[in-house]
């Protein structure tokens, strides 16, 4: 799954994508940027 990396300022494929549910009940996916190692987060489909 692709997400926007705030550090690299580009869309990249996530490493270790993990489905999570936010406090308000919406689904989200979190992972790690393969280039810089920053946490990535995408709200919506998991």
Chain segment 1-46, per-residue pLDDT in tens: 899 999 999 999 999 999 999 999 999 999 999 999 999 999 987 7
Strand partners, 32: 15, 39
Total structural domains within the chain = 1
Q: Are 40 and 31 in contact (CB under 8 A)?
A: yes
Q: Are 5 and 35 in contact (CB under 8 A)?
A: yes
By residue range, what is the domain housing residue 18? 2-43
Flag whether the pTM goes above 0.75: yes
Alpha carbon distance 45, 15 (integer Å): 16
Position 45 scores a pLDDT of: 74
45 SS3 class: coil
Residue the block writes with tokens 């997400």: 3
Residue the block writes with tokens 């989200």: 28
């Amino acid at each position: 799954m692709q997400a926007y990396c705030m550090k690299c300022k580009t869309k990249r494929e996530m490493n270790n994508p993990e489905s999570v549910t936010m406090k308000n009940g919406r689904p989200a996916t979190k992972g790690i940027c393969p280039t810089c190692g920053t946490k990535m987060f995408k709200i919506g489909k998991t």
